[in-house]
């Protein structure tokens, strides 16, 4: 009898990170993964292409040039920043650094679908606190769910997939209530789309100074670099250092670093993308509303259609029209906004939706 290597038991029954397929229909609009529309252009494309020619060399250890640029733009010391190949790999490293077997991670639910998978892989246990009826985080219930085994709490703000945000004052009260040995991860993957003014008490330096807060951000969404894979974490030097210690020495490619630096250095492309996405978001919400589909107020680059049991049928009708959207069976459908062709295709879909 031949023995085979045995994977860790925590991996048993691990769900797959799902993707949406077009099947036999030509794709007209891809609105299923909250990516920015269009392709790379201008200085960002130029920087990425120039970096390809230099790719015989390793990048700087720890993505130090990008970390330094982020530190300057955010007003924190370099020691407070960790960069890697996306916000999700950084969350995984946070869990690797902080989670012990059996520890609990409190999240809202429904929220970003990767959270329970990452927690399971890390050997932890997810404690999922239902969203309120309006799709927003129930922060008092999340605070009440923190117990002796809780090691981390994740607040997704704006929340994927509902697009809702937590009021800054409520977040401040929540952070004050969380015990100092529990790490709060503020997943701000979509923060650039959030039009609300941010009080000084919730600025990135103020959050990092709290000691038990880690802010996660990404270049995948508003910066439009999802395929290049760049994210960053800002926290106290202690937390950021723990995460850096479990990252590989070269956590971001030189091409991704070059593109991210160019995007930081030329903020007008980001500002234009954010402005047009916000306008389009209002128009898409109005179109849906005119057909009786009321979406929660979104501060992200997507809207949430709470269609309940009809969600999968709606997504299938979209697919038949070449529109890829993200259904969550029995709950709702998330549609990424930003593509200028979205409304025309969505109007066709809605014309056939009873
Ligand atoms: C809330 C949230 N966090 C993190 C991520 C992952 O970002 P990245 O591409 O930087 O890994 C996503 C991507 O969809 C997301 O929606």
Please report, for the domain that includes residue 82, its CATH number. 3.40.640.10
Name which of 86, 141, 93 is nearest 248 in CA terms: 93
Specify if 4 maps to a domain.
no
pLDDT at 89: 98
pTM of this prediction exceeds 0.95: yes
194 lies in the same domain as 277: no
User: Which residues lie below 8 Å from residue 3, measured CB to CB, with a gap of 6+?
Assistant: none
C-beta separation of 320 from 25 below 8 A: yes
Query: Residue 240 domain-assigned?
Result: yes
The verdict on residue 190 lying in a domain is yes
Q: Do 251 and 113 share a structural domain? A: yes
pLDDT at 200: 97
**Domain presence at residue 145:** yes
> Reduced to 3 states, what is the DSSP secondary structure of residue 302?
strand
Expressed in angstroms and rounded, the spacing between residue 224 Cα and the centre of ligand 1 is 12
Q: Are residues 317 and 306 part of one domain?
A: yes
DSSP lists the bridge partners of residue 168 as none
* Residue the block writes with tokens 């990516």: 35
**β-bridge partners, 333:** 305, 327
Q: Report residue 229: phi and psi, to 5°.
A: 70, 90
Q: Can you list the residues of the chain whose pLDDT is less than 70?
A: 1
Domain presence at residue 164? yes
Do 147 and 294 fall within a single domain?
Answer: no
Using the 3D structure, point to which of 265, 291, 317 is the last residue of a domain.
265
Task: Give the end of a domain, one of 236, 265, 294.
Answer: 265
- Confirm whether 205 is domain-assigned: yes
For residues 211 and 238, the answer to whether their CB atoms sit within 8 Å is yes
Helix or strand holding residue 118 (H, E): helix 114-121
Q: Is residue 9 part of a domain?
A: no
Same domain, 140 and 243: yes
Closest atom, ligand 1, to C-alpha of 226: 9
Residues 32, 337: contact at Cβ < 8 Å? no
Provide the number of structural domains found in the chain. Answer: 2
Domain range spanning residue 140?
A: 42-265
pLDDT digits (tens, 9 = 90+) for 134-184: 999 999 999 999 999 999 999 999 999 999 999 999 999 999 999 999 999
**What's the pLDDT tens digit per position in 131-145?**
999 999 999 999 999
Atom 7 (ligand 1): residue with closest C-alpha?
87
pLDDT in the model for residue 1: 63
Final residue belonging to a domain, choices 212, 241, 265: 265
Shared domain check, 68 and 27: no
What residues contact 160, with CB distance under 8 A and at least 6 apart? Answer: 34, 111, 112, 189, 190, 300, 302, 334
Backbone angles phi, psi at 249, to 5 degrees: -60, -30
Top mutation candidate among 31, 111, 112 for ligand 1, by most atoms within 8 Å of CB: 112
| Shared-domain flag, residues 246 and 305 | no
Name the nearest CA neighbour of 106 among 91, 121, 125.
125
In terms of residues, how long is the chain? 354
Q: For residue 5, how far is its CA from the centre of ligand 1 (angstroms)?
A: 32
Q: Are residues 67 and 110 in the same domain?
A: yes
Distance 85 CA to ligand 1 centre (A): 11
Pair of tokens at residue 243: 């995460």
Q: Same domain, yes or no, for 290 and 149?
A: no
Give the pLDDT of residue 43.
97
Phi and psi dihedrals of 132, rounded to 5?
A: -75, 170
Protein residue with least CA distance to atom 2, ligand 1: 189
In terms of DSSP bridges, do strands 213-218 and 231-234 run parallel, antiparallel, or are they unpaired?
antiparallel
Q: What was the pLDDT predicted at 16?
A: 86
Are 247 and 304 within one domain?
Answer: no
Within 6 A (CB) of ligand 1 lie 34, 86-88, 112, 156, 160, 187, 189, 218, 220, 226, 231
Distances from the Cα of 78 to the Cαs of 68, 71, 209, 237, in angstroms? 5, 5, 13, 9
Q: Is residue 14 part of a domain?
A: no
- Are 160 and 56 in the same domain? yes
Å from CA of 323 to ligand 1 middle: 21
CATH of the domain at 312: 3.90.1150.10
Judgement on whether residues 255 and 278 belong to the same structural domain of the protein = no
CB within 8 Å of 321: residues ≥ 6 apart: 25, 28, 345, 348, 349
User: In angstroms, what is the span from residue 132 Cα to ligand 1's centroid?
Assistant: 22
């Amino acid at each position: 009898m031949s023995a085979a290597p045995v994977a860790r038991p925590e991996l048993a029954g691990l769900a797959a990170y799902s993707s949406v397929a077009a099947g036999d229909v030509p794709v007209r609009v891809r609105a299923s993964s909250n990516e920015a529309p269009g392709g790379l252009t201008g200085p960002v494309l130029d920087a990425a292409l120039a970096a390809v020619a230099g790719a015989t060399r390793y990048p700087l250890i720890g993505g130090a040039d990008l970390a330094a640029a982020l530190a300057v733009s955010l007003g924190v010391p370099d020691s407070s920043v960790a960069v890697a190949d996306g916000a999700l790999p950084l969350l995984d490293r946070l869990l690797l650094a902080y989670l012990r077997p059996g520890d609990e991670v409190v999240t809202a639910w429904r929220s970003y679908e990767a959270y329970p998978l990452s927690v399971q892989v890390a050997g932890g246990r997810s404690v999922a606190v239902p969203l309120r009826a309006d799709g927003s985080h129930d922060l008092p219930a999340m605070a009440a769910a923190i117990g002796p085994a809780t090691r981390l709490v994740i607040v997704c703000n704006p929340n994927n997939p509902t697009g809702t945000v937590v009021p800054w004052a409520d977040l401040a009260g929540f952070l004050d209530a969380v015990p100092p040995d529990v790490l709060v991860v503020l997943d701000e993957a979509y923060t650039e789309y959030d039009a609300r003014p941010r009080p000084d008490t919730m600025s990135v330096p103020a959050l990092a100074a709290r000691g038990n807060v880690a802010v996660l951000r990404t270049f995948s969404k508003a910066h439009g670099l999802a395929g290049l894979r760049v994210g960053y974490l800002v926290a106290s030097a202690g937390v950021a250092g723990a995460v850096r210690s479990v990252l590989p020495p070269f956590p971001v490619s030189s091409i991704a670093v070059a593109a991210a630096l160019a995007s930081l250095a030329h903020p007008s492309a980001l500002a234009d993308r954010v402005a047009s996405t916000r306008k389009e978001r209002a128009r898409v919400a109005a179109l849906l509303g005119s057909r009786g589909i009321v979406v929660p107020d979104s501060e992200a680059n997507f809207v949430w259609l709470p269609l309940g049991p009809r969600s999968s049928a709606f997504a299938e009708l979209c697919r038949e029209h070449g529109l890829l959207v993200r259904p969550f069976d029995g709950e709702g459908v998330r549609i990424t906004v930003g593509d200028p062709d979205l409304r025309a295709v969505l109007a066709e879909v809605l014309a056939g939706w009873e």
